Copies of this chain bind each other. A is one copy, B any other.
């Protein structure tokens, strides 16, 4: 699989043209940012988390994004209900296992969602992806591999086991699908200093998955747009406050020329 400025921008244009509804069950910290990022790019975000309505909402959406960043029991129940509704209707599900590995509550919830619903895309940083593996496998790997290689090994294994495209984000983003790994080398050093840009990356995966039936390409295009918009934002940012503002402006402005000049696959 290869992606190019042309394939990336074709999806951006499709999002702008069709404004797909992206249903997010996400964390309190980032709701505003992710809604704004989806709007800036051209999608239609909706946030809804009550069990009585999530199946209705997921059922009319182009994609469902589940983010476990601020879990609680009622939200977990709603995540399962919504994921079931989405799967039943063939709507792509994106899982962001925020903080998996930090507490058993998060790790267990993320694993159960993954095992039960085989998300189209799982996006996390290296340690979150590693936390989704069973302990045995991780322990075995640690002896012989660097952390990055280990995360990639685990991503490959999760992809084989559940069919999910696994997207590991960091200085280089890796998108793992079948026997293929795409690398995206865009981004900016200030991005980890802004809360919720990882969550925004997952939300954008939802927008791209709503317009592109291939979840590997959708995830890769989303990461490319994140990285290119990040570089555009970084030009004028004086710190993480102005970076966040310029980043939303960049998602709104991003053109085929910007992607053509800046994309580093």
A195 touches B240 (CB 8 A): no
Mask for A35-72, Cβ within 8 A of B = 1, else 0? 11001100001111110110011001000000001111
A240 touches B46 (CB 8 A): no
- Interface status of A126 (Cβ within 8 A of chain B): no
Mask for A86-119, Cβ within 8 A of B = 1, else 0? 0000000000000100111110000000000000
Chain B's closest residue to A60 (CB) is: B102
- Interface status of A14 (Cβ within 8 A of chain B): no
Nearest CB in chain B: distance from A109 CB, A: 10
A105 touches B52 (CB 8 A): yes
Residue from B31, B104, B240, B247 within 8 A of A28 (CB atoms): B31
Residue from B36, B50, B56, B249 within 8 A of A73 (CB atoms): B50
Q: Complex formed: what's the CA distance from A56 to B104 in Å?
A: 8
Interface of A is mostly: helix
B71 touches A53 (CB 8 A): yes
Residue from B27, B35, B104, B249 within 8 A of A241 (CB atoms): B249
Question: Could you list 19 further interchain pairs (A-B, Cβ under 8 angstroms) beyond the known A28-B31, A241-B245?
Answer: A27-B47, A28-B28, A29-B47, A32-B32, A32-B195, A36-B194, A36-B195, A36-B244, A40-B239, A40-B240, A46-B102, A47-B70, A50-B70, A52-B105, A239-B250, A240-B248, A240-B252, A241-B247, A241-B249
A residues whose Cβ falls under 8 Å from a Cβ of B:
27-33, 35-36, 39-40, 45-50, 52-53, 56-57, 60, 69-74, 99, 102-106, 192-196, 237-242, 244-253
